[in-house]
Homo-oligomer: A and B are copies of this chain.
């Protein structure tokens, strides 16, 4: 199981191990869980990795799809839970799958900032009012990963 067989998962909250175990026992993908609870698979994975907070409804639906007592989830990720985000990976990440995203930022970071400034002005793309999706584009020359990020533009306030 992912959560227990990789040492860095010791950085995850205890609930994560239980969620991953339930997912494995039910043989469900993140996409399938997402469809059951009406959320994106990326957000569901973020929840499993301790990076998102579910609503009461999310908890109820999760308890159904994972066949896991609602009280149990409420205790660990209920209303008084707040994720302490980030910090799972070393910097720079050593895993090649993660590193490539870091490299993209190293190589295309300033070009990206310049384009955002030309299109929007002085500000940022929010990482809070933000969604991300991953699609598989089949291609005979090799399938392609297509990642879409969508964040609100926030202009710097002057005062």
Contacts and interface: CB of A to CB of B under 8 A. Distances in A.
A132 to B, nearest CB: 6
A117 to B, nearest CB: 4
Interface string A121-151: 0111111111110101101011111111111
B86 A106 contact: yes
Chain A binding surface, main DSSP class: mixed
A109 interface: yes
Interface residues of A, number: 110
| Number of this chain's copies in the complex | 10
Given A5-B14, A120-B143, A124-B128, A96 B88 contact: no
A157 B128 contact: yes
A154 interface: yes
Contact of A91 (B45, B91, B128): B91
28 contacts: A2-B80, A4-B14, A6-B50, A30-B115, A30-B118, A45-B115, A46-B111, A48-B111, A52-B156, A82-B114, A83-B122, A86-B96, A86-B103, A88-B106, A93-B105, A96-B107, A98-B110, A101-B127, A103-B127, A107-B127, A112-B132, A123-B128, A125-B145, A129-B142, A131-B157, A144-B151, A144-B152, A148-B148
Given A2-B114, A119-B134, A119-B136, 14 more contacts: A8-B84, A40-B159, A51-B108, A53-B122, A82-B113, A85-B96, A91-B92, A97-B125, A100-B125, A102-B105, A112-B132, A128-B157, A141-B152, A147-B149
